[in-house]
Homo-oligomer: A and B are copies of this chain.
Amino acid sequence: SGVAMMKFKSPPVNSLSLEFLTEFSISLEKLENNRACRGVIITSAVPKIFSSGLDITEMCGKSMEHYTEFWRAVQEMWLRLYGSSMVTVAAVNGSSPAGGCLVALSCDYRIMAENPKFSIGLNEAQLGIVAPFWFKDTFVNVVGHRTAECSLQLGSLHPAPEAHRLGLVDELVPEEKLMEKAAAVMAQWLALPDHARQLTKTMMRKAVLDRLVAHREEDIKNFITFISKESIQKSLRKYMEMLKKRK
């Protein structure tokens, strides 16, 4: 059918570790180079969670070299996904904070299970950290400047119905219908001639993609400087302890 299915399966919460990101990027590259593949549906094989976002253990107590390698992998994943020439549909079948939300935002279309217990958002501010400018650019392109400004400053995690109202996700469907709906949306997008659709997508996304490409090394430096601060390391350690206790 020309449609690939990607199921995130890294229990317990599909954290975007260096290994996960690297595999994700390689898979995207392979699909991109496979002329038989025209679209990809991204979903999770882990119940109740789409992806919990960047793996905090990768950002805590590691070397500069590690931070560099990790951040480059985050950038790489986004450049590949947001700039993909394939049709990309996110079937968000669970919560999707921070980097998980970025993955969904980078697709062409977002369908979410209509469970109000599932939430999605760029909640970095809650952890005392700041979403990088290209997370913000991607977000603004989806929900507009005002919603982004408010949501980013509050680090909001929006329950599915609110996310839909804000335009953060395009559609809500009952969880059991999610894959069926994703396939239907994919078919609708694939009905268009690839070449015209791809050029149009590039026209819409190029400015934001180019901005990271032009400032990639600077963005890595900023990340390292920020993440190396003792105050930030402390926040992250505190957050990880809280997560451990929750289990």
Chain A residues near B (Cβ < 8 Å): 108-109, 124-131, 133, 136, 140-146, 148-150, 152-155, 167, 170, 188-189, 192-193, 195-197, 199-201, 203-205, 231, 235
Contacts and interface: CB of A to CB of B under 8 A. Distances in A.
B154 A188 contact: yes
Contact of A146 (B136, B142, B153): B142
B192 A136 contact: no
Nearest to A127: B196
Contacts of A126: 192
A153 B186 CA distance: 12
Given A141-B149, A144-B146, A149-B204, A124 B154 contact: no
A150 B88 CA distance: 12
Those 4 A-B pairs whose CB atoms lie nearest each other, nearest first:
A128-B193, A125-B196, A149-B204, A130-B199
Contacts of A154: 188-189, 192
29 contacts: A108-B150, A109-B150, A125-B192, A125-B193, A125-B200, A126-B192, A128-B193, A128-B195, A130-B200, A130-B203, A131-B200, A140-B145, A142-B145, A142-B146, A144-B145, A144-B146, A145-B204, A149-B201, A149-B205, A150-B170, A152-B203, A152-B204, A153-B189, A153-B197, A153-B204, A154-B189, A154-B192, A155-B196, A195-B231
Given A153-B189, A189-B153, A193-B128, A203 B144 contact: no
Contacts of A140: 145
Contacts of A109: 150
Nearest to A140: B145
A203 B125 contact: no
A188 B155 CA distance: 11
Contact of A196 (B128, B148, B188): B128
* Most B-side CB within 10 Å, residue of A127, A136, A204, A231: A204
